[in-house]
Amino acid sequence: MVRTLRFNREIMDTLSTQQYSDLFLKHKDIFLGDEPKFLQEIRIKAAEKLSTQSFPAKKNELYKYTFLEPYFNNGFKKNIIPKPITFDICDMFRCDVPTLDTHLAIVLNGFYYDTKKLLITLPNGIIYGSLAEAIKQYPALVEAHLSKYITTDDSYVTLNSAMARDGVFLYVPKNKSLDKPIQIINILLADEELMVQPRNLFIMEQGSSAKIVICDHTLNDNKYLTNSATEVYVASDANFECFRMQNEHNEAVQVSHTFIHQEAGSNVRTNNVTLHGGVVRNNLYVNLAGEHCENTSLGLFLTDGTQQVDNYTFIDHATPNCNSNQLYKGILDNKSTGSFTGKIMVRKDAQKTMAYQRNSNLLLTSDAHANAKPQLEIYADDVKCTHGATIGQIDENALFYLRSRGISERESRLLLMYAFAFEVIKQIQVEPLQIRIGDLVEKRLRGELSRCNNCAMYCK
């Protein structure tokens, strides 16, 4: 992937998408392989679309705060088939929350990692494991949902649709519940600069319920680029909760796209905690497609150095009587940047919508920078919609109060920062996880977070 610089600007803009579709064409046989027809079609369509698209330019409204194209225009290795790496996962993580009992799913460099079983069926019919394997074993099930919930033309998503090879699959049948959370650990561990594009598909049938914990980790100092996409189908009256913890190093760039499709009466809660990362952009699209849905989207990001964390949400109230609630908080140190763009769309017929959004940022230095951009588009008249954004510093009165009781300035600041973050942490409903994340956030704020003990995974 050599970049030729003699092109003029317009061609340059399309160069990087072009090089990906070229890459696709070059390895078409591997990409399409013996995949079912529906998937081949998805890929070909996406590759074709990609060649007509360009990656968002610097001025692009959607990516205003995070210009990603240079990261995609890289010479990183892109593995189409997994490169074998053996490692003992338990050597790398030591879990100090033994009570966090989960089903484990490891994704290594974008590919589901299990030496024995790629798909597991639990006694009550719940299936989880590798998406690539699910495509082989349950093509009809995958076909009914894959790429069905993408509600954007974002070229990064198109790229993922064309080239993603694996990821996590979850299927929860009607009225069934997961006995304990599934914990997905995305591990980046390669001996070269690597780009990965995992794809996840979670299917929640009517009245089912599941909790998922996702942890993103880099395990060595190589440069990584992740462009991941997740689709979640939540049928009527189903309950889905997803907690994600991003903990990657300063040279890692991550773009994640999550699409949630909610049918009537369903309830979804997502919570995204960014403990660390170089450049992180999270896109969350929620489509409230049936009446009486509840959606709660939470986020917390802690940045320092020159890190950049950018959260974008799009809550689409397409039907009446749905509630959505967003809370995103950031603590920004040094010269870091945190951004939040929250779009709430209330369609014409979506009467009795209740949509709340709040974004608060705590700046620890005058060089840290927060961007807050609420976007409300309301076409119905009987709605309750509120949004608020605050950017502030530590409250000096509170600081003095704590210090006047003998608590050191540093400790007082930490208490106040933790209190700020706790509003998000307390909403984690898996209790051992809440405690564990609370500890991690505290360690992170103290600057004591190390890579090897940072995982909340179940490991004995």
Partner 1 sequence: MLKITNLRTSINGKEILKGIDLEVKAGEVHAIMGPNGSGKSTLASVLAGRDIYEVTEGTVEYEGEDLLDLTPEVRARKGIFLGFQYPIEIPGVSMASFLRTAVNEHRKFKALAPLSASDFLKIMREKKEMVEIDSNLTNRSVNEGFSGGEKKKNEIFQMALLEPKLAILDETDSGLDIDALRIVANGVNKLKTAENATIVITHYQRLLDYIVPDFVHVLYNGRIVKTGTKELAFELEERGYDWIKKESDLKLNGEDVKI
Antiparallel, parallel or unpaired: β 111-113 and 279-288: unpaired
Which of 253, 266, 128 shows the shortest CA–CA distance to 200?
Answer: 128
Task: Report if residue 378 touches partner 1, rule: CB under 8 A.
Answer: no
441: left (phi over 0), alpha (psi -120 to 50) or beta: alpha
- Answer for which of 104, 106, 407, 449 binds partner 1 (CB under 8 A) is 407
Residue 330 vs residues 3, 214, 274, 369: alpha-carbon distances, Å: 37, 20, 9, 10
Query: 82 near 106, Cβ under 8 Å?
Result: no
Task: Report if residue 405 touches partner 1, rule: CB under 8 A.
Answer: yes
Among 35-43, 219-227, 248-256, 412-420, which window interacts with partner 1 (CB under 8 A)? Answer: 412-420
Q: How far is the CB of 94 from partner 1 (least distance, A)?
A: 24
- Phi, psi for residue 128 in degrees, rounded to 5: -145, 155
Among 94-102, 156-164, 216-224, 410-418, which window interacts with partner 1 (CB under 8 A)? Answer: 410-418
Residues of span 46-105 touching partner 1 by CB under 8 A: none
Task: Report if residue 431 touches partner 1, rule: CB under 8 A.
Answer: no
- Answer for which of 65, 111, 420, 458 binds partner 1 (CB under 8 A) is 420
- Answer for which of 68, 132, 163, 402 binds partner 1 (CB under 8 A) is 402
> Given the complex with partner 1, which of 360 and 371 has the nearer CB atom?
360
> Given the complex with partner 1, which of 271 and 324 has the nearer CB atom?
271
Among 57-65, 93-101, 352-360, 391-399, which window interacts with partner 1 (CB under 8 A)? Answer: 391-399
Query: 39 near 33, Cβ under 8 Å?
Result: no
Task: Report if residue 401 touches partner 1, rule: CB under 8 A.
Answer: yes
> Given the complex with partner 1, which of 108 and 402 has the nearer CB atom?
402
Task: Report if residue 443 touches partner 1, rule: CB under 8 A.
Answer: no
- Answer for which of 411, 446, 452, 453 binds partner 1 (CB under 8 A) is 411
Query: 109 near 51, Cβ under 8 Å?
Result: no
Among 164-172, 318-326, 353-361, 416-424, which window interacts with partner 1 (CB under 8 A)? Answer: 416-424
Query: 304 near 334, Cβ under 8 Å?
Result: yes
> Given the complex with partner 1, which of 432 and 438 has the nearer CB atom?
438
Task: Report if residue 404 touches partner 1, rule: CB under 8 A.
Answer: yes
Task: Report if residue 448 touches partner 1, rule: CB under 8 A.
Answer: no
Q: How many CB atoms lie within 10 A of CB 47?
A: 23
Contacts of 153 (CB under 8 A, 6+ apart): 53
Q: How many residues bind partner 1 (CB under 8 A)?
A: 23
| Residue 81 exposed, middle or buried by CB count within 10 Å (0-12, 13-18, 19+) | exposed
Q: How far is the CB of 412 from partner 1 (least distance, A)?
A: 8
- Answer for which of 45, 403, 443, 451 binds partner 1 (CB under 8 A) is 403
Burial 160-181 (b: 16+ CB within 10 A, else e): bbbbbbbbbbbbbeeebebeeb
Task: Report if residue 419 touches partner 1, rule: CB under 8 A.
Answer: yes
Task: Report if residue 393 touches partner 1, rule: CB under 8 A.
Answer: no
> Given the complex with partner 1, which of 382 and 409 has the nearer CB atom?
409
- Answer for which of 264, 354, 398, 435 binds partner 1 (CB under 8 A) is 398
- Phi, psi for residue 268 in degrees, rounded to 5: -130, 140
Per DSSP, 118 falls in state S
- Phi, psi for residue 35 in degrees, rounded to 5: -70, 155
> Given the complex with partner 1, which of 84 and 406 has the nearer CB atom?
406
> Given the complex with partner 1, which of 141 and 407 has the nearer CB atom?
407
- Answer for which of 140, 406, 448, 450 binds partner 1 (CB under 8 A) is 406
Distance CA 111, CA 457 (A): 18
Query: 285 near 257, Cβ under 8 Å?
Result: yes
> Given the complex with partner 1, which of 394 and 449 has the nearer CB atom?
394
Query: 157 near 189, Cβ under 8 Å?
Result: no
Binding site for partner 1 (CB under 8 A): 395-398, 400-409, 411-412, 415-416, 418-420, 422-423
